[in-house]
Amino acid sequence: MNFVGRGEMLHRTAAASADALLQSDILVVSSSIQHTLVGRQVGEELIARMDADKGVCLLDSMSFPDVTLRVYRRGC
């Protein structure tokens, strides 16, 4: 299996991150982690967009004390 890790969270907007994520077949999206660093926290916005996208299927969701990970597959 070929695995390519992409830095899609480095985009300036949630929309740009989501558009870039949708170029992959498997998407792993985390909720925002509370921190004091400068910058937007867009995890929940990305999760909402992936949940609403009819071309993306949720494969799994895992919750931890401070973050939720959701794994999606493009091209259901």
Token pair 């967009």 is at which residue?
49
Let me know: does 26 contact 2? Beta carbons within 8 Å.
Answer: no
**Tens-digit pLDDT profile for residues 1-46:** 666 676 665 777 778 888 888 888 888 888 887 766 555 677 888 8
**Tens-digit pLDDT profile for residues 40-57:** 677 888 899 999 999 999
- Bridge partners for 62 per DSSP: 69
**34: Cβ–Cβ under 8 A, 6 or more apart, which residues?**
41, 66
pTM for this structure?
Answer: 0.77
The residue type of 68 is: T
